[in-house]
Structure 1
Amino acid sequence: MSQQEAPVSGAPAYAPPPAARRKPWFLIGLLAFIVIGGAGWTAAWFYASGRAVQEIDRWMAAEAERGRSWSCADRQFGGFPFRFELICTEPTVTFTGPAGGSAKATRAHAVAQVWNPRHIIAEFDGPGVISSPQAGEITATWSLLQVSGVGRGNDLDRLSVAADDYALTQGGTVFFGARHAEFHVRHTPGSDAATLDIAAGVKGATGVTTAAGGAAPIDGALEMTATQVPEWRAVLAPAARLQAWQAAGGRVKLLEARLSGGGGAMNATGEIGLDPERRPSGTINLTMANAPALMSALSAAGLMPAFMVNLAPALAVVGMPGTLDGAPASTFPFTFRDGRISLGMLPLGKIGPAF
């Protein structure tokens, strides 16, 4: 046996040197970055939220100058850290123009993202009440009412309104309802600010329902472009706005105005404005497929007087042959010129000023 001592039984043959202790600078730096970044974001959010509140107040003041006074019974602002949220209890707009009136809802909840504060989406809780000296008080109800707006400078560039299960009631009678209704308006891209694209649509629309509740729902769609549209101010009477539009040479280009229901359909296209005597001037091309079915559906839905259904056979006689969505149809080219209206070459009579 060698004179060197044998290793102790059970002891490892080799023990690695102790690892060097890692310095915590990386973790400390990461933690500091998170804390400083969070503090900076918080400060930036509160600064931006303060600016947003100022912009809201400035917008409300500008609206008041246009004859639309907005108010809230209670207003709360929040949404930290990634959104701006405004909750308005009993939002009300009062029109101070010649027509007067007001509109209000139960509650509004508006939201905008921090990185896109000019795009605001708001939901309104019903019921709402619309009142005016001329029409009295109308109650509006809905299951969902959403408004989306995109700003450009101090004005709106685009506005959209969509509602589900919408109904208008007066004196306990529902005079209009729709399973879905929507409205969109925007400044036409590439055109001046006075040119607007307008679109609207309804699904399952009905008017005043009968005692038996019979109502065949109607679908409708509208798409048009209007030029020389004056700024909408409640302080101006409707006739004054029309006069300003006519004086500026405003025109409406009707791309589509469609109604369908009961197996029938109708669509109108054309372009129209007002001449120097304030009379309609332009052409409207109306096409109807299965006019008796459509007019019967409109009457059943409470959107057309019942006696007008009897005119359906006559329409097929005076209309020109055409097609609508591939189905046989009757076409009616109406012309408005010099205070007269004609159907093709057939004079129909005179038409007076619009205001």
Structure 2
Amino acid sequence: MSDLTLAPRRRPLWRLFIMPVLLLVAAAAWSAFWFYSASKVDETADAWRAREARSGRVYDCARRSVAGYPFRLEVRCDGASVSLTSQTAGQTAAQAPITAKLGEILVVAQVYDPKLLIAEFTAPATISEQGDQPSMVVNWRTARSSIVGLPAVPQRISLVFDDPAIDRVSGSMQTPLARAKHIELHGRLVEGTPSDHPVIETALQIADGSVQELHPLLAQPFDADVRAKLSGLRDFSPKPWPQRFREIQAAGGHVEIVQSRIQQGDVVAVAAGSLGLDAQGRLEGELQMTVAGIEKVIPALGIEKMLEEGVPQATLDRVAPGVKTQDVNNLFGALDRAIPGLGKVIKQNANVGVAAGINALGKEAVLEGKPARAFPLRFVDGAVFLGPLKVAQTPPLF
């Protein structure tokens, strides 16, 4: 009997190519998907721009490009600009738009997570009014935003700025208008839907912020942390802001200040309450405030300067009917003639009396271990009252 040698059975060679072929097919499919998604960017952006333009907000790009293959979509907009028409109470559609321009916007989305958009903005930005030369210049070290929920509906939005600075431009001169070390603004949908009475919760944080030209209290660096909830919106459809504010007022909407804390040096203030709009678009409502170090705030209210310049007749009519401005000025003059400098001393020490009056109006409290006073901050017809004292006036919103 002879020995039989069995030859080894050969495996089909085609099996060796299964994995490479599958990888090649997957790569081709992924590439096709990426290029299809990239081709839809222009279409989606143009549709969004058309919707915004109907609301008086015209966005444009001098050059737009798409990159990021294979796992990201990077949309780069060079020469970005936005023109705003009828976005404030005093602006009409017939007026030239307010235009803002900035160098570049880079928007990034992961192909496998298209509901998260991250954007970076390149400084500087310029703001022009009525088609004139730039009236403001905005700079920052870094600026980023993120939006969660697109392309379906926005659920959460965040904006973060490091070292933002706003300067007013007059000819070749630039004057500081606002500064901050860090600013964060977060918003999220907490009730309703974007198309049916949404309610938005917001959080604003400002570190070392200061604003010139608005009020002396804002000129010195301050930190702020504010949480608020906005109700009364009909939907998120694009529309001018005055129209949106009218809808909020008609629906009885309001901003609920859930929690706020502002610190400026040794002065600390916390407040909570609700603010709405009256039929003329002016702020109304009340905040309950607690302030530690209020005696340091009084000089910044400018009451001494008001007395030195003369007491307005409208103020006298409110607090002392029948007394004329000239009578008060004559009284100060008579005091100065009788005892030189006496009238000026009385004016200069007016803030002491005002501080005492505020202490008498509120009640004693303790804030973060410091003696404090608690009292209401009222908004009536856009005017801001600290007790009986009018400390500011806000413009109408529509």
Partners of 2:365 and 2:245 lie apart in 1 by 34
Q: Does 1:251 align with 2:249?
A: no
Q: Does 1:110 align with 2:118?
A: no
Q: How many residues align?
A: 325
TM-score (norm 2): 0.70
Partners of 2:164 and 2:383 lie apart in 1 by 39
Alignment of structure 1 residues 293-312 onto 2, 5 Å: 293=296, 310=351
> Which has the higher mean CA deviation after the structures are superposed, 186-195 or 135-144?
186-195
Shift of 1:31: 0.9
| The one of 331, 341, 345 aligned to 2:374 | 331
Partners of 2:395 and 2:161 lie apart in 1 by 35
Q: Deviations over 1:261-286 (max 9, x none)?
A: 21221111101323557665543101
Partners of 2:384 and 2:34 lie apart in 1 by 61
Q: Does 1:263 align with 2:266?
A: yes
Other-structure match for 2:160? 162
Shift of 1:307: 5.8
Alignment of structure 1 residues 154-233 onto 2, 5 Å: 156-171=154-169, 172-190=174-192, 192-208=196-212, 217-229=221-233
Shift of 1:127: 0.5
TM-score (norm 1): 0.77
Q: Cα RMSD (Å) of the superposition?
A: 3.8
Q: Does 1:90 align with 2:79?
A: yes
Partners of 1:142 and 1:133 lie apart in 2 by 25
Does the CA-based 8 Å contact 2:99-2:131 persist in structure 1? no
> Which has the higher mean CA deviation after the structures are superposed, 331-340 or 317-326?
331-340
Structure 1 spans left out of the alignment, 5+ residues: 1-16, 210-214
Give SS of 2:70's match: coil
> Which has the higher mean CA deviation after the structures are superposed, 151-160 or 40-49?
151-160
- One-letter identity of the residue aligned with 2:199: T
Q: Deviations over 1:297-349 (max 9, x none)?
A: xx6xxxx7696995783444432112223432111124568999987xx7679
Shift of 1:150: 2.6
Give SS of 2:181's match: strand
CA distance 1:250–1:216, change in 2 (3 Å)? closer
| The one of 123, 134, 141 aligned to 1:126 | 123
CA distance 1:178–1:275, change in 2 (3 Å)? closer
Q: Does 1:313 align with 2:355?
A: yes
> Which has the higher mean CA deviation after the structures are superposed, 328-337 or 142-151?
328-337
Other-structure match for 1:9? none
- One-letter identity of the residue aligned with 2:355: P
Shift of 1:199: 1.7
Give SS of 2:180's match: strand
Structure number with higher helix proportion: 2
Other-structure match for 1:7? none
Structure 2 spans left out of the alignment, 5+ residues: 1-5, 87-91, 214-218, 306-349
CA distance 1:43–1:161, change in 2 (3 Å)? same
